[in-house]
């Protein structure tokens, strides 16, 4: 339920409307006066426009003038003897006027202000007076008090979600350790006397940090749902605006609301919008600093038994001010990591209840193939799979629907573009090289999952591996094996097509191998020549600057060592492909026939089993392409 906690209660609307009406009248008067003199004159049922006469024209045509009216601005209007209206700017000259009169013209002089002249004189004063009255009223807070800030808050309300939530810890999966950290908060909200008996103080504030989509907001809702207390949710950006002092007033208002509904959970999402670290260089952002100061005051003013728990979430905890993170404010910081293999399986199992999943779908295999996915990514994966199942006419979500969805998320959608036969053939041999070397090192690296030559995104083909579990480190043997696998595609191109036929298709493979070799040498100390020294240090934002804290001699040695590692891996890959050309060629021909081979089929080819040459491009894929 959405609720505006600020409502406009003053009676200054009348003055604002009056100000607007008079302002429009002033504009209308300006336009009207601008058109004076251009008024069309009717004469004998015909409309005539006044002609413009200069002062010299008036002197020359004095005998032709029939009437002349002169106002205080020396603007003369009238009619010539032939009935033509005119308009002229003249200089006051009694002799000229006497000459015109003697010729039979009727001359009149009007020095009085017209009605519009009076309006023009007093209207700006009246408009300014009304504006000042309106400003003074809202500064006093109208009828309800509270000052100009409260009135502006009424025009810029903070949107907050209020009420009790039905979300509980049963709706949160994959972050069991983080849930355990928050159980103390739930117990305090349910039974705070138990804590007070021992003199324990529950954390007043909890900061949830982690990658986007890891479940920070969901976890905060679950705490409120488990404790069965009101849940107030807002965002840090709601407290910032162009009006100075607005954020401070909003902070006060939302904390007053929380105190009136205690015990409760007050959740502030993206708190880094107002909680960024203060410094001497941030003098131009005083409003944000005032808002942060008010937040610090409100949190520090809590007594131990208020029953208000502030939970904040951010993706950038390194940006927050230290005063915000000290004990007594955000006492506890909980970092929510991306889920591991077991966590991903639990999350998939939880979300799978909302979809019709086929009986033969292995969620564990899906979890193994989604390393680095957050909870939101996994839910999106199943949703994309369901959309694909509907598109191709499946009654339930099948394994190939999930595979298609994962490939789409990781590599992009299929490309329906024409590819030259020679490029398709070269891609097949390239991927066959990757696949064979992967099978050769299956006891060292992650097992191969599939190989395909269906283009996606920028890639013409790919070989996927399915990790058995989540790895936190790699051995030197694994590093060398992965380097050989990365370079096996280029090795296959050279062996089967010749040195002059190698392509740029291995660019991403070379980049990946170089990055792995550099990290192993400069960070992990896996090179005997460089030794156990960290050549690259992480800077403030987690990036690594090449050759930092290294001399030119060390940098040259690092570059030379990386080249040696890459060359040795390439020799290893070429040696394996050369000795097993027949097997690699069988894999390539099977890819040309079927476009996609599973890991079991590739292992079968390597072990000597025959593979059916029936194309694996099913009707499902054809339907999908046809609909696209």
pLDDT over 70 (residue 31): no
Banded pLDDT at 148 (limits 50, 70, 90): very low
Contacts of 578 (CB under 8 A, 6+ apart): 495
* CB burial readout 80-95, b (16+ within 10 A) else e: beeebbbbbebeeeee
Banded pLDDT at 91 (limits 50, 70, 90): low
- For residues 212 and 306, the answer to whether their CB atoms sit within 8 Å is no
According to the model, what pLDDT value does residue 92 have?
65
According to the model, what pLDDT value does residue 586 have?
93
Residue with the bigger pLDDT between 174 and 435: it is: 435
431 is catalytic: yes
According to the model, what pLDDT value does residue 29 have?
57
May I ask the CATH class of domain 341-411?
A: mainly alpha
Banded pLDDT at 583 (limits 50, 70, 90): very high
pLDDT digits over 154-163, tens only? Answer: 444 444 555 5
Per-domain residue ranges of the chain? 8-154, 159-336, 341-411, 421-627
According to the model, what pLDDT value does residue 147 have?
47
- For residues 448 and 439, the answer to whether their CB atoms sit within 8 Å is yes
pLDDT digits over 43-77, tens only? Answer: 444 456 778 777 777 777 777 777 877 776 667 78
pLDDT over 90 (residue 121): no
Q: For residue 582, list its beta bridge partners.
A: none
Average per-residue pLDDT for the chain: 78
User: Considering the domain 159-336 in this protein, what is its CATH number?
Assistant: 3.40.50.300
Percent of the chain with pLDDT over 70: 74
Question: What average pLDDT does this structure show over 129-137?
Answer: 68
Q: Which architecture characterizes domain 421-627 according to CATH? A: Up-down Bundle (1.20)
Question: What average pLDDT does this structure show over 575-598?
Answer: 92
According to the model, what pLDDT value does residue 162 have?
53
Q: Which CATH number fits domain 8-154: 3.40.50.9100, 3.30.720.210, 3.30.565.10, 3.40.640.10?
A: 3.30.720.210
| Catalytic-labelled residue, pool 431, 493, 494, 595 | 431
DSSP alpha helix (H) spans, 207-245: 216-227
DSSP alpha helix (H) spans, 498-551: 507-522
33 phi/psi in degrees, rounded to 5 = -65, -35
The least confident of 175-179, 249-253, 382-386, 413-417 is 413-417
Q: Output the pTM of the full model.
A: 0.64
């Amino acid at each position: 339920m959405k609720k505006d906690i600020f409502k406009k209660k003053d009676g200054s609307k009348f003055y604002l409307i009056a100000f607007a009406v008079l302002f429009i009248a002033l504009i209308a008067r300006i336009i009207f006066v601008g058109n004076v003199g251009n008024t069309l004159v009717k004469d004998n049922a015909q409309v005539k426009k006044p002609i413009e006469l200069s002062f010299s024209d008036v002197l020359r045509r004095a005998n032709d003038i029939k009437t002349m009216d002169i106002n205080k601005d020396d603007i003369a209007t009238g009619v010539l003897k032939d009935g033509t209206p005119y308009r002229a700017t003249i200089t006051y000259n009694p002799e000229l006027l006497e000459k015109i009169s003697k010729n039979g013209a009727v001359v009149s002089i009007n020095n009085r202000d017209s009605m519009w002249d009076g309006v023009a004189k007093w209207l700006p004063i009246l408009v300014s007076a009304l504006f000042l009255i309106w400003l003074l009223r809202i500064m006093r807070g109208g009828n309800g008090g509270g000052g100009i800030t409260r009135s502006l808050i009424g025009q810029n309300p903070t949107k907050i979600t209020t009420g009790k939530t039905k979300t509980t810890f049963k709706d949160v999966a994959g972050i069991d350790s983080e849930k355990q950290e928050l159980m103390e908060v739930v117990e305090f909200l349910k039974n705070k006397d138990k804590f007070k008996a021992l003199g324990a103080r529950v954390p007043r504030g909890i900061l949830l940090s982690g990658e986007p989509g890891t479940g920070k907001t969901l976890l905060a809702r679950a705490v409120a749902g488990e404790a069965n207390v009101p849940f107030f949710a807002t965002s840090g950006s709601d407290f910032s605006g162009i009006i100075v002092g607005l954020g401070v007033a909003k902070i006060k208002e939302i904390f007053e609301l929380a105190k009136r509904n205690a015990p409760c959970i007050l959740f502030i999402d993206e708190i880094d919008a107002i909680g960024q670290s203060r410094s001497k260089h941030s003098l131009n952002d005083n409003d944000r600093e005032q808002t942060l100061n008010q937040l610090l005051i409100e949190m520090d003013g809590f007594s131990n038994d208020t029953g208000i728990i502030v939970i904040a979430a951010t993706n950038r905890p390194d940006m927050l001010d230290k005063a915000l993170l000290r004990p007594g404010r955000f006492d506890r910081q909980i970092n929510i990591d991306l889920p591991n293999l077991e966590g991903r399986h639990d999350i998939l199992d939880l979300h799978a209840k909302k979809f019709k999943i086929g009986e033969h779908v292995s969620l564990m295999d899906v979890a193994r193939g989604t390393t680095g996915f957050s909870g939101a990514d996994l839910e999106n994966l199943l949703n994309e799979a369901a959309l694909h199942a509907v598109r191709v006419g499946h009654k339930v979500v099948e394994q190939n629907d999930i595979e298609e969805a994962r490939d789409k998320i990781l590599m992009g959608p299929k490309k329906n573009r024409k590819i030259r036969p020679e490029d398709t053939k070269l891609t097949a041999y390239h991927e066959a090289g990757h696949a064979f070397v992967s099978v050769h090192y299956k006891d060292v690296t992650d097992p191969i999952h599939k190989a395909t030559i269906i283009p996606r995104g920028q890639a013409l083909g790919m070989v996927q591996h399915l990790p058995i579990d989540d790895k936190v480190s790699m051995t030197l043997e694994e590093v060398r094996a992965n380097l050989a696998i990365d370079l096996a595609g280029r090795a296959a191109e050279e062996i089967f097509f010749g040195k002059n036929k190698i392509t740029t298709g291995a660019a991403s493979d070379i980049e990946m191998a170089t990055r792995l070799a550099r990290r192993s040498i400069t960070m992990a100390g896996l090179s005997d020549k460089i030794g156990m020294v960290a050549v690259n240090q992480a800077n403030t934002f987690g990036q690594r600057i090449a050759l930092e804290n290294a001399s030119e001699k060390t940098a040259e040695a690092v570059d030379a060592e990386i080249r040696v590692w890459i060359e040795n891996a390439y020799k290893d890959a070429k040696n394996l492909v050369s000795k097993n050309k027949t097997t690699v060629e069988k894999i390539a021909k099977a890819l040309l026939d079927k476009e996609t081979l599973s890991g079991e089929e590739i292992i079968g080819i390597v072990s000597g089993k025959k593979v059916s040459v029936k194309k694996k491009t099913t009707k499902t894929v054809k339907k999908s392409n046809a609909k696209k």
